[in-house]
Structure 1
Amino acid sequence: MPNADDWQGDVLRDLRGTPQQGGQSPVRAQSPGPDQSLPVPGGVPARDAGELPPPGNQEHRPAAPASRGAGRPRSAPDSRPVVDDGLAGAARRTQHGESLVSRATRGVRRIVSSSAAREVAQITRTAELLQQPVTTGRQIAVTSIRGGAGKSTVTALLGATYAHYRQDPILLVEADPALGSLPLRLGAKTLRWTTGDVADIVEPQMSLLDVTGYLVQLPDNAWLLPGSQGRIGAMLDARAYERVMVSLRRYFGVTVVDCETLPAEVARVALSASQARVLATPATLEGMTSTYNVLEWMKGLPRHVIEGTVVVVTEQVPRAGVDLDKAAQKLRSTGAAVRILPYDRHLASGGTIRTGLLAHSTRLAATRLAADVFQLSQKRR
């Protein structure tokens, strides 16, 4: 998971000193009751270095529970590395999302113009939107029409943003067991319990501490539930997914789900059960055409479905092969919102996302996207 201290870079450096309301310290891992609002800070939260252990090293590991409906205890799965040791050494050094020249030019512009103050004001307003309290956990589903559209990247960016700004627990669920890349993008080192495993484990009487023992711990009070251990042929049925989501929803303020590509069954279930939906599409003519056709189909569903959907157009090469303004206008004509995630060298290189290496424009785009999606989720109960 990315380092939250680098999330907004220089722009938020002054904001991080904003005191909490009433001078109280943030409360971590607080689980709300059915009608209780989750805690919300008064300003942009400050982070303590080393507050949480590295991903995958859970301090609380529960004993193997009895399987649901089984007569004997379920054996605990062994941990498996996300990346093989032989491949881990093959990764090149990660590069910054924008060139040194671009960063220097932007710095000079900020000094000689008044745009910096406006930008800080805008980020402050966005932070206030992201920190609104919720009475029940919000579920956000991220999917795409085809592979390679950047849905796992978008999921990771949304999860990092919510974990940075909010003080209630955040959950990222990988509902795509087919060798998904979400754990790698989040920086998880090992995987143990999966969505299918937890479906047979969770019980209503469990506490938040019990539940998180089966999850991969990430920085900033965030948690990951993997879809598989990287094995080919792993399956996840819709009933198991529904059982997990219904059981875990009350523990987490925001849950972001990395779904299978449409029209997979679990993806359809996730989209219908979520309060907001994100549809990732590459900035190509093929991607735009497929996405437009799906949005036209969604117009035939209950109105809240299309109105609660945000299309994220991901630029995966420096120069898109389509006119993004014209394409976005066409997609908006269906009633869905559209956001552009600009090309970023760091994101394009793959591997673990480190927010300190993201381009400034990427950080701003991810934050605004997270605020848009969260606002939509608040409208649907």
Structure 2
Amino acid sequence: MDEKLASAGRGPRHGEPFSTRALRAVRRAVSSSAAREVAEITATAEVLQQPVTTGRQIAVTSIRGGSGKTTVAALLGTTYAHYRQDPTLVVEADPALGSLPLRLGAERLRWTTGDLADVVQPQMSLLDVTGYLVQLPDNAWLLPGSQGQVGAMLDTKAYERVMVSMRRYFGVTVVDCETMPAEVARTALSAAQARVLTVPATLEGIASTRAVLQWMHGLPRDITSTTVVVLTETVPHTGVDVDKAAEQLKATGASVRTLPYDRHLAAGGVIRTDLLARDTSQAATRLAAEVFQLSQKSR
């Protein structure tokens, strides 16, 4: 982002008010919930750290913009990078001025997905490949979809060439796809071992998503069983009963999780995991674990 434009942003806020954090700390001190919380964190970490025989690829998409798709992809990528020992790759397959590099804090953009497709070779080493990528914290790497320019295109053959090659080097790859039904998004969904479909927690978003899930049942290979729907609360009060909405979507056979409203995420800047609200952090970690487990069931 241009430095002058970046200066318009205020300092990053914590995902929840200080009073909420202080009250929770007091409650934990006088209850037995701390031990249960540690046990759950340990169990989730064990799932996230499971070894893989071939790289797992997870596609994140939506049916319209503004659903938190890129935010969820960034959260998944940072979570896998934090817990796993092998390298994690985050790919931006949404080349039309996507915001993934900004959310991940990339200071400079180098080669794009389309550029790498022209040079990647089977004999390349991990060191060769990472020379074309943007390094992130915790042994994570970013492959941008564009260099901040409108109109960059990515065809399915180029996408497939890159993704087939990358499975050799990275234990988990998270792909931030175009919105459906774009051609690359359909290719990514079909090729991935697990999928995440982000949905704004609105009546319109829920109704449209249920129709998409029913359409998935009719595909040659039903991918609903390896799809997790994420209801994203992008405003503090959505006016929707999220629990009832989740039940409606679960009836299609897909798993459903909720990403609660978070002041830090809502600002749209670089995601700092230390500033996420506790509920948001836990929701992201549980989502990452569930999606990874689903990816392990697919070849």
TM-score above 0.5, yes or no = yes
Report sequence identity in percent. Answer: 77
CA distance in 1, matches of 2:221, 2:185: 19
CA distance in 2, matches of 1:293, 1:124: 37
Which of 10, 32, 37 is the equivalent residue of 1:114? 32
- Deviating 4+ runs (over 4 angstroms): none
**In structure 2, what is the equivalent of residue 24 of structure 1?**
none
Query: Which amino acid in structure 2 is aligned with residue 190 of structure 1?
Result: R
**In structure 1, what is the equivalent of residue 210 of structure 2?**
292
Q: 2:104–2:270: 8 Å Cα contact kept in structure 1?
A: yes
Residue 192 of structure 1, CA deviation: 1.4
Matched, 1:187 2:105: yes
**In structure 2, what is the equivalent of residue 272 of structure 1?**
190
- Residues 290-340 of structure 1: CA deviation (Å, up to 9, x unaligned): 111100111112565000000000101111221111100000000000000
Q: 2:113–2:159: 8 Å Cα contact kept in structure 1?
A: yes
**In structure 2, what is the equivalent of residue 173 of structure 1?**
91
**In structure 1, what is the equivalent of residue 261 of structure 2?**
343
Query: Which amino acid in structure 1 is aligned with residue 111 of structure 2?
Result: W
Alignment of 1:177-326 (within 5 A): 177-302=95-220, 304-326=222-244
Count of residue correspondences? 299
Higher helix share: 2
Query: Which amino acid in structure 1 is aligned with residue 145 of structure 2?
Result: G
Q: Secondary structure at the match of 1:164?
A: helix
Q: Secondary structure at the match of 1:288?
A: helix
**In structure 1, what is the equivalent of residue 296 of structure 2?**
378
Which of 238, 255, 279 is the equivalent residue of 1:361? 279
CA distance in 1, matches of 2:34, 2:71: 28
Matched, 1:333 2:235: no
**In structure 2, what is the equivalent of residue 30 of structure 1?**
none
Gaps of 5+ in 2: none
- Residues 325-369 of structure 1: CA deviation (Å, up to 9, x unaligned): 110000000000000000100000111000010000101000000
Query: Which amino acid in structure 1 is aligned with residue 82 of structure 2?
Result: H
**In structure 1, what is the equivalent of residue 46 of structure 2?**
128
CA distance in 2, matches of 1:230, 1:148: 19
Residue 127 of structure 1, CA deviation: 0.3
**In structure 1, what is the equivalent of residue 19 of structure 2?**
101
Matched, 1:143 2:61: yes
- Residues 19-78 of structure 1: CA deviation (Å, up to 9, x unaligned): xxxxxxxxxxxxxxxxxxxxxxxxxxxxxxxxxxxxxxxxxxxxxxxxxxxxxxxxxxxx
**In structure 2, what is the equivalent of residue 159 of structure 1?**
77
Gaps of 5+ in 1: 1-82
Q: 2:216–2:222: 8 Å Cα contact kept in structure 1?
A: no
- Residues 171-207 of structure 1: CA deviation (Å, up to 9, x unaligned): 0000000110100000001101000000001001100
Residue 89 of structure 1, CA deviation: 1.1
Query: Which amino acid in structure 1 is aligned with residue 203 of structure 2?
Result: L
Normalised TM-score (structure 1): 0.78
CA distance in 1, matches of 2:146, 2:18: 39
Normalised TM-score (structure 2): 0.99
- Residues 212-259 of structure 1: CA deviation (Å, up to 9, x unaligned): 000000010000000000111110001100000011111000000000
Residue 162 of structure 1, CA deviation: 0.3
Residue 90 of structure 1, CA deviation: 1.1
CA distance in 2, matches of 1:177, 1:315: 25
